[in-house]
Structure formats: structure tokens, C-alpha cells
Amino acid sequence: MKKTLSASSLLLSAFALVSALACAPSARAQAADAHLGAQAYAKHCAVCHGEQRQGNLPGFPPLLDINRQLKPEQITMLIRHGRGRMPAFPNLPEAEVSELLRFLATDPMSTPASASGASSNLADAGSHLFQRNCAFCHGRDAGGGETGPDLTRSKLALADVGGDKIGEVVRNGRPEKKMPAFNFNSEEIRSLAAFIHSQQKKASSRPGGRRGVDVSDLQTGNVEAGKAYFNGAGGCAKCHSPTGDLAGVASRYEGLQLERRMLYPEDTVSKVEVTLASGQKIAGTLAYRDEWVLGMRDTEGIYHSWPVRSIHFTVDSPVDAHVELFSKYTDDDIHNLMAYIQTLK
């Protein structure tokens, strides 16, 4: 039963993605036609799918925007034959089915019966999930909080459509950043994404007083002082060059993202060279290391691991130089360095 349901919700999401541009009749005409349909909906559908078509997750999907996901013939098939735990309504009069179809095609924003709005209903369902599971780290308004980033500014979240990108992160987690994975179904992911998108809209519509870190906030340093630090006390020039690896870095990244990369580029790979008992040497990138096991990916991308006591190995971890600077930085050093790095366009 559960399998059928999640398969069907996956299908629904897929439809949502491919047919996002369905036309609807004018709002006023909808409202007039929808009256009979609304009654039919209240009688047959609302008990499971909610009075406002908001659904009741995880078992019962929302029907808001269902006309954007399914064609009228498909909805009719569903009503007539049922699916999963949804019962069939083979004896519903033809006229009532078409009223129902018309009602389902209306935008609830324009009907007084559901003044709170369609996407906001999906977002409301998502809000509940978000408050329970995500708000502690990402803030209740998704604007960032304890350890979790501001999702209203997240590039990934901004590029997300209907949960396609957010869902991937939520389901897999980000173990390297301590974000746990959550076992949400597709409808739940859609509702979460709807909530996050509604928060993005809210955040961007706040004139002037935008929360969080703007590029303009990070302009307090002195370029010359930063350049001197880069070439002198900071020791940056030992590994980096403004015309080499850092050429154009400020065009590729900006603002907070650039500053965080400047302080600790966490995706930097460490090289490792392993000498086996046989004397054979293998070089690659460090993939895992604890007290007992060393893992590496060789130049072909193939993973190898050994008990550390059976091999000799050397690790070259250039990012360690960034860690060594931590105990030496002043805030001015950081702001000046940031001013200089921002000139490397």
C-alpha cells in the first residue's frame, strides 16, 4: 500500500515538473462555475484531501494545482477507478465529475472559500514539517540559525523547482556538514520546497532591511593593507598567486561565499602517497583516514584502503596552512584580505 502511494506521488511530482505552464480560464468565471464543484468536492474529497485541498501528508496528497499535474482525463480516470488507498467513485454522475474537474482547475486564491491561498496551503503543510525538523538549524523563517545556512539566500534553494534540488539534499543529507538525511516522501518534499520558496519571496520583498550578509557588508577593509598581508605576514603568496590560481576568483565567487572560501576552502583535496609492504607506490587523493584505516582514490578514481599499520604513507594537505593562520588573524587582517581578494576579478 505504502509503495503504491509513494510511486504515485513520485509520478505526480514528475508531472508537475513537465507541465508547469497550463492555462486557466479567467478568475471570475472560475469562481462562478466552481460553486457546484466546491459542493461536490466537500462531499466526496475533502475528508481525505482536506477542506482547502491542502492534503493530509503523508497519506493524502494535496490537490492544489492538480490541473497542472494531471490532464482532466487522468483526473477522471482516478475518480472513476481509484488508486492505492483512494477509493473508486464509479457511480458519480457525469455532471458532478465535470463540476469537480472545473473546481479543481480553479485558483483557490480567487475563491472566498479558501482565502488563505493555494500555494500557501502547500507551504503551510511544509511549514509544519520545517518547524519540526529543520527550524532548529535553519531558523524558523529559513533565514539561517543555529549552524544551518540561510536558505532564503542559498543558491541551491533559489534554483530549486518543486523540490528537485532541495529534495536531493534533504533525502541524502550532507554528512560532511553534519546535516542529517530525512526520509520524506515526494509530497512532503514538495511542501517543504513550497515553504522555503515562500520564505525566499518574503525575504526579498523586505525593502532595505535585508537580513543576513550582503556583499555590501563586506567592504570595510583596505585593499593595500590586504595586499601587504597576502604577500607578507599572511604567507598567502607561498601557495597562491593573483595571476595564477586566484586569477578571476572574485568573478567566480562573491560576498560571504568568497570570504568563507578565503578563510577555509573546505573542498580542497589532500594528496596522499602510499608505499605498500611490497615496495609498490600508489598516489592519489585522500578519501578516508581514521586511526586504523587509510582510504584513497587513485588517478583513475578507484577507491583503495589499507590498515595503516601495513603501509607507509605521506599526506600533503595544503589546506592546513589556513588552519595555522586561524590563531594569528585579527578581524582587520580578514577584512583587508577580503578587500584585496575582491579586486581579483
CA 1 to chain centre: 29
Figure out which of the listed residues 93, 208, 244, 301 binds another protein, where binding follows CB under 8 A: 208
Which pairs with CB-CB distance under 8 Å and at least 24 residues apart come from 237-241? 238/321, 239/318, 239/321
C-alpha cell at 45: 474529497
Task: Give the nearest distance from C-beta 108 to another protein in angstroms.
Answer: 23
Task: Give the nearest distance from C-beta 259 to another protein in angstroms.
Answer: 7
In the range 87-126, which residues lie near another protein by CB under 8 A?
Answer: none
Task: Give the nearest distance from C-beta 178 to another protein in angstroms.
Answer: 7
Contact flag: residue 220 with another protein (CB under 8 A): yes
Q: Of 243 and 327, which has the nearer Cβ to another protein?
A: 327
- Please compute Rg for the chain using Cα positions: 27
Number of residues that bind another protein (CB under 8 A): 50
In the range 126-185, which residues lie near another protein by CB under 8 A?
Answer: 128, 131-133, 135-136, 139-140, 143-147, 149-150, 176, 178, 180-183
Task: Give the nearest distance from C-beta 74 to another protein in angstroms.
Answer: 32
Q: Residue 288's beta-bridge partner residues? A: 295
| Contact criterion met (CB below 8 Å) for 84 and 141 | no
In the range 282-341, which residues lie near another protein by CB under 8 A?
Answer: 288, 290-292, 322-323, 326-327, 329-331, 334-335
Strand-strand pairing, 303-307 and 293-298: antiparallel
Contact flag: residue 204 with another protein (CB under 8 A): no
Residues whose CB is less than 8 angstroms from the CB of residue 136 and which lie 6 or more positions away in sequence, other chains included: 145, 146, 148
| Contact criterion met (CB below 8 Å) for 283 and 273 | yes
* Single-letter code of the amino acid located at 207: P
- What 8-state DSSP symbol labels residue 315? E
| Contact criterion met (CB below 8 Å) for 340 and 230 | yes
Figure out which of the listed residues 93, 112, 209, 279 binds another protein, where binding follows CB under 8 A: 209
Figure out which of the listed residues 169, 228, 256, 308 binds another protein, where binding follows CB under 8 A: 256
How many Cα atoms are found within 13 Å in the side-chain-facing hemisphere of 51? 5
Phi, psi of 234 (to 5 degrees): -70, -25
Q: Of 43 and 136, which has the nearer Cβ to another protein?
A: 136
Q: Of 57 and 249, which has the nearer Cβ to another protein?
A: 57
CA 164 to chain centre: 8
Q: Of 131 and 241, which has the nearer Cβ to another protein?
A: 131
- What 8-state DSSP symbol labels residue 139? -
Task: Give the nearest distance from C-beta 115 to another protein in angstroms.
Answer: 22
Task: Give the nearest distance from C-beta 1 to another protein in angstroms.
Answer: 18
Q: Of 97 and 125, which has the nearer Cβ to another protein?
A: 125
**Cα-based angle 179, 185, 191 (whole degrees, multiple of 5):** 85
Q: Which residues bind another protein (CB under 8 A)?
A: 128, 131-133, 135-136, 139-140, 143-147, 149-150, 176, 178, 180-183, 208-213, 217-220, 256, 259-260, 263-264, 266, 288, 290-292, 322-323, 326-327, 329-331, 334-335
